[in-house]
Structure 1
Amino acid sequence: MTHPGTLVLITGAAVLAPLLVFAVGRRVRVPLVIFEIALGILIGPDVLGWAHTDEVTDALADLGLSMLIFLAGYEIEFAAVRGDTLRRSLWSWLVSLGLGIGLAFLVSGGDVFEAFVIGTALTSTALGTVLPMLRDSGELKGRFGTVMSAFGAVGEFGPVVAVALLLSGRRPAESAALLAGFGVITAVAVLWALRPRPPWFGRLAERTLHSSAQFAVRFVMLLLACMLGLAEVFGLDVLLGAFAAGVLTRIILHRAAPAASGEVLGKVEAMGFGFLVPLFYVVTGIEFDLDALIHDPVALLLVPVFLLLVLLVRGGPVFALAPKDLGSRDRTALALFASTCLPLVVAITTIGVDQELLASEEAASLVGAAMISVLVLPLLAARLRSADRGAGRAARARPAPEAVDDSESW
């Protein structure tokens, strides 16, 4: 049984975090997740020593991580991520994975499994952090937003699959066979989701939106539980099941209850971002090994090293393989956005530490680098984009040069 004061402290930190975001928002834009993790570190054992995790908080944090990945899967619009852009995003991620594991192999001193953990973490993209910025600037539906959605979607989905393959503790062939089986069942579920739903489904979803029945929300939770259970049965990481559940939920709600889908998602997001997801981040801060990071010069030195590796491993291939119609500034902004990584870095390093494949000091260094990436890289990318938009507006506003009538010169 958890101490009631621990949950009070965790939820109190979750409430304080958005207040701090709004307090500093006039001067600098700091992502909410930074404050959630920082407050967790503050109340954790390495600073104030007020909060300690236990089985209950760990279980809730695991559920929060599943909800985070579920919502990431829901965000992806597969209609927008296809064709040449999708092929380029896939190839860029595969190059990132090979480059990341190769460089991590050198950093880890030849430890293969540690290299898998570090290399996979270096290839992720925090799509949930980047998309709201593009939505606020009105670019999400434009060309740049579409390309970023494709590269970000692969940056979310690729590491989840890699975790299932590389960090399952089995031989790669066995993991691949189990992953293929999971994929077949998921594909069948997608085909089922694409079929027209009976009319009563949509009517019942709309009729119970504001009642205690909440049919659609309960159905979404059932779908999430089923996909988590399916991943568990196949011996795969539950992150894969959570991601698949998000994809399936989007298809079902948009086809069966299009009028209510937005409100249903809002209710699910309220559960996720209102309680479970911030709890996961605050618990991550509580478990963050700040003492090791501060007192270990090597771990502290690894923070900027990992940040440079993120830019090289993730940003380099994205810049090189971005669609040809993007200019160099847009390609740079795309690479910076794609290199923004925190949620999956936290998840992957947590798995690595739990399986004793990664030392807590290295996990702290990776998470520290990812926190800096969320703080700095999107702001740099946004400035590049705003500068381009300003230049474009100036060019459009500039009067065209008057035509010269040189007929009399003849």
Structure 2
Amino acid sequence: MHGAGHILEVFYLLLAAQLMAYLFRRLGQPVVIGEVLAGILVGPALLGWVHEGEILEFLAELGAIFLLFMVGLETRLRDILAVGKEAFLVAVLGVAFPFVGGYLFGLQIGFQTLPSLFLGTALVATSVGITARVLQELGVLSRPYARIILGAAVIDDVLGLIVLAVVNGVAKTGAVEFGAILQLILLSLAFVGVAVALAPLFARLPLDRLPVGSPVGFALAFGVGMAALAATIGLAPIVGAFLGGMLLAELREKYKLEEPIFAIEGFLAPIFFAMVGVRLELAALVQPATLVAGAVVSVIAILGKVLGGFLGALTQGYRAATVVGVGMAPRGEVGLIVAALGLAAGAVNEEEYAIVLFMVVATTLFAPLALKPLIAWAERARRVGGD
């Protein structure tokens, strides 16, 4: 497709996302749901005006990167460290419960061991972009439960990557490659650890005296660079973007970083969420076997994260702990990547892939719809000093 065609597709995505966001805001619902539905509307499933392609996929990835970079800018490291124990527990339990549940259910319905392992792995990693958008929209990023979700999402990504490396290694070679897994763990820990260690230095960084065009220009380059570095290591780029934003959080007011970066995010993030809808293959989701198995897997996926989040964050009170659990529920692109790897390795068939696709859709739609009333419930208790 020539350049004008790509521009037209971006226009359709943005227009549909804005109209649906307006409608959902008027209905009192999370706008992210409207943006996902906008992608379904203009995508191949319905109108067929927008199709998957490298340019749109790249813009969508940039949208996720800038969304988490912006969230990082609004999150100070000391606030994350203050809830570090809870974030670690939430991440570990939120990986263990869904993985075991998915694996056992796969065996129960007749899957072989390897497809069952891939099913469990697809349920592991949280797609924090959906939750981050809701937290940002409701203005609660400073709350302890929001910081637990964001901190847990970083740990969750590292743990999910390790589980995926183990299962993918078994699929390819029939054995666990301990050397490669150890290297992956050390690189991931080094990346996060160095970012944490450098935070005090970045808080004093004189952006206006650096040999760069502007403080905002430096911030943009730094955020994208951190995302690229994370991707090089094997982590999700959004983890690097979030850490990059967090390193600059202490400087955002001094150098007025927030407004221009928010403007860029406001352009790109709706493309990311709309492309979630464009990618959905509705025909694969309406097969009776897929509907039944997909519904059960979705329940396992949601309950696993909710239970892990609730138990891990219970020190914050049962209302905040419930918000954390639901906030960790979306799976998004991570689950699809796992299923696609299984498909490529011959360990997962089309039916099993469709079950994962159903789960991704269900958890993506469930979390924002459930989060809004749950956050209102938690905020009411906070205002009156209750649990």
TM-score interval, normalised by the smaller of the two chains: 0.7 to 0.9
1:308: Cα distance to partner?
2.6
Q: Give the letter aligned to residue 263 of structure 2.
A: A
Map of 1:101 onto structure 2: 99
The question of 1:377 aligning with 2:377 is answered: no
Query: For 2:181 and 2:253, how far apart are their aligned partners in 1?
Result: 37
Moved more, 332-341 or 195-204: 195-204
Query: For 1:198 and 1:151, how far apart are their aligned partners in 2?
Result: 26
The question of 1:281 aligning with 2:273 is answered: yes
Post-superposition Cα deviations, 1:16-56, rounded to whole Å, max 9, x if no partner, equal 33333333434x32222212221211222222222222222
1:87 to 85, 88, 94: 85
Map of 1:53 onto structure 2: 52
- Structure 2 residue runs of 5 or longer lacking an equivalent are 170-176
Map of 2:152 onto structure 1: 155
Query: For 2:65 and 2:303, how far apart are their aligned partners in 1?
Result: 29
Post-superposition Cα deviations, 1:335-359, rounded to whole Å, max 9, x if no partner, equal 14531357x6222024224424565
Query: For 2:322 and 2:199, how far apart are their aligned partners in 1?
Result: 34
Q: Judge conservation of contact 2:102–2:120 (CA < 8 Å) in 1.
A: yes
Q: Judge conservation of contact 1:73–1:246 (CA < 8 Å) in 2.
A: yes
Q: Give the letter aligned to residue 300 of structure 1.
A: L
Q: Give the letter aligned to residue 246 of structure 1.
A: F
Query: For 1:175 and 1:375, how far apart are their aligned partners in 2?
Result: 34
Query: For 2:310 and 2:206, how far apart are their aligned partners in 1?
Result: 48
Map of 1:16 onto structure 2: 16
The question of 1:246 aligning with 2:226 is answered: no
Map of 1:340 onto structure 2: 327
Map of 1:404 onto structure 2: none
Distance 1:7 1:355, change over 3 A: farther
Distance 1:349 1:285, change over 3 A: same
Q: Judge conservation of contact 1:100–1:122 (CA < 8 Å) in 2.
A: no
Q: Give the letter aligned to residue 136 of structure 2.
A: P
The question of 1:119 aligning with 2:114 is answered: no
Query: For 2:11 and 2:194, how far apart are their aligned partners in 1?
Result: 39
Larger radius of gyration between Structure 1 and Structure 2:
1
1:228-239 equivalence runs, <5 A: 228-234=227-233, 236-237=234-235, 239=236
Q: Give the letter aligned to residue 194 of structure 1.
A: P
1:126-145 equivalence runs, <5 A: 126-132=130-136, 135=139, 145=143
Q: Secondary structure at the match of 1:46?
A: coil
1:75: Cα distance to partner?
4.2
The question of 1:25 aligning with 2:25 is answered: yes
Map of 1:312 onto structure 2: 303
1:259 to 237, 241, 254: 254
Query: For 2:157 and 2:16, how far apart are their aligned partners in 1?
Result: 31
TM-score, normalised to structure 1, is: 0.75
Query: For 1:98 and 1:125, how far apart are their aligned partners in 2?
Result: 21
1:119: Cα distance to partner?
2.5
Q: Judge conservation of contact 2:69–2:244 (CA < 8 Å) in 1.
A: no
Q: Secondary structure at the match of 2:5?
A: helix
Q: Judge conservation of contact 1:319–1:334 (CA < 8 Å) in 2.
A: yes
Q: Give the letter aligned to residue 156 of structure 2.
A: P
> Superposition RMSD on alpha carbons, in Å?
3.5
Q: Secondary structure at the match of 1:345?
A: coil
Query: For 1:199 and 1:368, how far apart are their aligned partners in 2?
Result: 42
Q: Give the letter aligned to residue 118 of structure 1.
A: A
Q: Secondary structure at the match of 1:59?
A: helix
1:351 to 321, 337, 341: 337
1:325: Cα distance to partner?
6.3
How many residue pairs align between the two structures?
Answer: 364
Taking only the aligned residue pairs, the percentage that are identical comes to 18
